[in-house]
Structure 1
Amino acid sequence: MVRVAVAAVLVALVLLAGPLAAVVQRSYFEDERGALERTALAATVAVGPEFTAGDAVELPAPRPGGRLGVYDLSMRLRAGTGGKTGDAVARRAAGGKVVRGSSGPDLVVAVPVVSTERVIGVVRASVPARSVWFRVLWAWGLLLGVTLFALATAVLVARRQARALSTPVEALSRAATQIAAGDLGARAGPCGIAELDQLAYSQNAMVEQLTRLLQRERDFSANASHQLRTALTGLQLGLEAGQGLPAGADLRPVVREALEGTRHLEETVEEVLRLARADTAGQHPVPRERLVRVLDRAESRWHGVLAATGRRLEFRSPPGTESFHVPGRTTGQILDVLLDNALRHGRGTTVVTVREAAGAVAIDVADEGRLALDPGAVFARGSTTGSGTGIGLAVARELAEAAGGRLGVRAAAPTTFTLLLPGPEG
């Protein structure tokens, strides 16, 4: 940018300064010749008719450093200063017209002296051309100084403008480098230049979109690993129990339990995928089924697990709840998270209660423990008080919201979580 600006200014200065220098030179020489002519005309007034009779002539002072003289028609100097005989310029002026010219190193103007309509002499005025050149050179020096000042100003302005443009570009480059190095929190700030601000906005929007995509991928991996862990553990325990049966024992119950485990595992995968798709393509319809069946399956999965730790599990469904229909797979996944949370962080009996609340289906999962975390932070990813990952409750809330429901903390002591789902349907 600096080079372009300097080149443009140089071209402009050359195109301007060259003709201007020529105009200055011509103007100075023309002005000097005009001054010589006025001096010579003033001298002709002092030359009267008696000049032809040989009378003396009193001439005014010549130009500084110059000479002024009057010649008769024989080109002999009669008064003033100058050559003893007239030069070619003086001889041409004797023809009756003012002549401007040069004679050696001098500028010369010759004016004829007219009396009774005839030429009786010639007044010649001259100055050394070097005195005019001296003034021309001074003017050229001043012009050169102005040119250099303009060039220096252009360089300073160009450098400042280049810095004003390069600084935000460098900031964009640094932000891009930080992002490429893995710092997805790096952002480019505004600089006040509309085009660069638009570029920074586009870059920031791109990074935010990439960050959301990466976060969604991480969340999907975490959700999948967390949700599949419980299902795989139950399947493994069932198969290990079948392996320990004596030879010839009926394995059909074990196979049925394994098939139920694989079905639940498949539902878990579908729910995690549905949750991931809900972030990008909106909510998808979830098959609804009777809540009683969902609770029965949850009880079969978790009764033995809690009993193995000396814990009781109770399901309470008041009369009238048999007609409740809910998103089956989603509700089952949320119950798995809440029961797993009760197993790991709660104590005593775990009670699952179904009720109708303001036109919605409410499912309370309570145990005899106390909530250690702040209720406002318990659903944040990574929030945990034990060896858990702090992902389960966050996934459960996302699943509930994706199904059009809501999951919250009803009480901290005893710990009670409430799942609200869209209203009951028969």
Structure 2
Amino acid sequence: MRQRVIRVAVVAVLVALALLATPLALGIQTSFFADERDELERLSLAAAVHVSPQFVAGDRVELPAHERGTDVGVYDLSGRLRDGSGPRKADATTRLARGGAVTRGRGDHQIVVAVPVATGEQVIGVARASTGTLHVWHRVVLAWLGLAGTALVALITAVVVARRQARTLTAPLEVLSAKAGAVAEGDLTARAEGSAIAEIDQMARTQNTMVERLARWLEHERHFASNASHQLRTSLAGLQLGLEAAAADPDTDLRAAVGEALEQVRHLQRTVDEVLRLARTTPRDGVPTTTRPTAEVVEGVERRWHGTFAAEGRRLDFGVEPGGESLWIPDRTAEQVLDVLLDNALRHGHGTVEVTVREMGGVAAVDVSDEGSLTLDRRTVFERGATTARGGSGIGLALAREIAETAGGRLTLARSEPTAFTLLLPVTEPRQAATGP
């Protein structure tokens, strides 16, 4: 593109120079020949002034000084050269001047001007001045060379300016192309820089927006498998534990065991739906359509997790403060986030785990605390990949915060020792709970 811009600029300058220089060159030629004829006429008039009335009687004429290479002479009416230099016999231009008018002409590579010499109203002779055209052409050619030199300087200047402008225009495009190539090779951190050209700057901003959205979507796709495995692992473990317990105890009520297994399967389905929704959405896309009272949500979570904590010799307490039981919250979001927090407390916490639901300034606040202490830095606790000293995938807390934010909520670390997390969820009206799949 850079060479194309230079070629366009050079062609434009050449066309402009041709359109300007051609008439200027013709004007130089015409002007120089006209100036030479005027100078010859001046010399002829000066010679005519020096002719006295006794010229007819044979008096000689003292002619004015003139440049070398110019002929100045005085002719009588018979066409004979009487004084000065020039052809011995009058030429056609000189003979025409005998009619009483100044005549101009060219012949034998010369420019000729003839002026009649009169006494009173009677022409008594002709003053003639002439010079070679080669002398005039020499001056014309020198002027043309000067014009060509000026045009050459203008062309060189145009090329230099064109190269600089082409570099100014193409450099941001080359950088933009390099950034696009880096993105095509997989570097989604590559961002185009701004430039002084508005159109290219707008293109860079558009490309950066596209890359940011692409990176966000790819991040969702890349995290989908890890999110799904993390969320399904706990539910599958609970289902397996319940089925194994029912199979090992011959006195187990099979109907109750099947009902519990079906409840676990339904929770698995909701988990899959929530993970799929998370993969297709971006943060703060809005509150999910299904909502239920906090009491029902807490009761379901307690049923799923009570046996798991009991098997580990841990205590799990649920409580709803006055006014909190009537709050309608996004049930699937609350279930998924509480599953993460309870699994995190079971694996990395100590002692009794308490889950408390309360109303706080128009939103529902769910506190999950245990008797352990957080070993992670508060600033990195929700970063994906951050793990504790006791091991872990580093996915759970980051996933829980993402799930909460997609529902318009927020998950925060309330304190590090003893560990406590607070989940804030938007509250909806009971009449909105009827909508849902």
Provide TM-score, normalisation by structure 1: 0.90
1:314 paired residue among 303, 313, 316: 316
Aligned to 2:178: 174
Tell me the distance in 2 between the aligned counterparts of 1:422 and 1:7.
Answer: 68
The one-letter code matched in structure 2 to 1:10 is L
1:80 aligns with 2:79: no
**Paired AA for residue 176 in structure 2:** L
Are residue 337 (structure 1) and residue 360 (structure 2) matched?
A: no
Q: Which residue of 2 aligns with 1:101?
A: 105
Q: Which residue of 1 aligns with 2:122?
A: 118
1:256 aligns with 2:259: yes
1:251-271 deviation digits (Å, cap 9, x = unpaired): 434322321210111121233
| Alignment partners' CA distance in 1, 2:25 and 2:34 | 14
With over 3 angstroms needed to count, the CA separation of the structure-2 counterparts of 1:107 and 1:250, relative to structure 1, is same
Contact map agreement 2:285 2:408 (CA 8 A) in 1? no
Q: What does residue 304 of structure 2 align with?
A: 301
Q: Residues 139 and 360 of structure 1: is their aligned pair in 2 closer, same or farther, counting only changes over 3 Å? A: closer
| CA drift at 1:33 | 0.8
Q: Which residue identity does 1:254 align to in structure 2?
A: A
Which range moved further: 382-391 or 166-175?
A: 382-391
In the TM superposition, what are the counterparts of 1:103-252 in structure 2 within 5 Å?
A: 103-242=107-246, 244=248, 251-252=254-255
Provide closer, same or farther for how the CA distance between residues 308 and 280 of structure 1 changes in structure 2, counting only shifts above 3 A: closer
Aligned partner of 2:215: which letter?
T
Q: 2:354 aligns with which of 347, 351, 360?
A: 351
Give 3-state SS (helix, strand or coil) of 1:317's partner: strand
Match of 2:270 among 258, 267, 270: 267
SS in 2 for 1:409: strand
Contact kept in structure 1, 2:302 and 2:318, CA below 8 Å? no
Find the aligned partners of 2:136 and 2:200 in 1 and give their Cα distance.
Answer: 56
RMSD, aligned α-carbons: 2.7
Q: TM-score, normalised on structure 2?
A: 0.88
AA at the equivalent of 2:227 = N
Verify the 8 A CA contact 1:62 1:125 in the aligned structure 2.
no
Pair 166,158 (structure 1): closer, same or farther in 2 beyond 3 Å: same
Moved more, 78-87 or 311-320: 311-320
CA contact (8 A) 1:355 1:363 kept: yes
Q: Which residue of 2 aligns with 1:374?
A: 377
Deviates more, 1:214-223 or 1:90-99: 214-223
Structure-2 residue corresponding to 1:22: 26
Structure 2 CA distance for partners of 1:364 and 1:323, relative to 1, 3 Å: closer
User: AA paired with 1:270?
Assistant: D
Give the number of aligned pairs: 423
Q: What is the DSSP-based 3-state SS (H/G/I as helix, E as strand, rest coil) of the residue aligned with 1:295?
A: helix
| Contact 1:274/1:284 (8 A) holds in 2 | no
SS at 1:53 equivalent: coil
Q: In structure 2, what is the Cα distance between the partners aligned to 1:398 and 1:221?
A: 15
**2 CA distance for matches of 1:244 and 1:314?**
25
More divergent stretch after superposition (200-209 vs 269-278)? 269-278
User: Closer, same or farther in 2 for the Cα pair 1:351/1:166, shift >3 Å?
Assistant: same
Residue 366 of structure 1 aligns to which amino acid in structure 2?
S
Matched residue SS, 2:118: strand
Seen in structure 2, the aligned counterparts of structure 1 residues 148 and 395 have a Cα distance that, compared at 3 Å, is same
- Residue identity over aligned pairs, in percent, reads 56
Q: Deviations over 1:135-187 (max 9, x none)?
A: 01100100111111111112112211111111111111111111111111212
What do the CA deviations read for 1:114-149 (whole angstroms, capped 9, x no partner)? 113111111111112111111011001001111111
Question: Structure 1: how far apart are the matches of 2:76 and 2:399?
Answer: 123
Question: Contact 2:246–2:252 at 8 Å: present in 1 too?
Answer: no
Query: Shift of the alpha carbon at 1:359?
Result: 6.4
Counterpart residue number, 1:48: 52
Amino acid at match of 1:297: G
Contact 1:267 1:329 in 2 (8 A): yes
1:419 equivalent in alignment to 2:398? no
In structure 2, what is the Cα distance between the partners aligned to 1:406 and 1:94?
Answer: 116
Shift of 1:85: 1.9
Question: CA offset at residue 67 of structure 1?
Answer: 1.3
Give the direction of change, closer, same or farther, for the CA distance of 1:372–1:325 in structure 2 (3 Å limit).
same
Contact kept, 8 Å, 2:321 with 2:358, in 1: the verdict is: no
Unaligned residue ranges in structure 1 (runs of 5+)? none
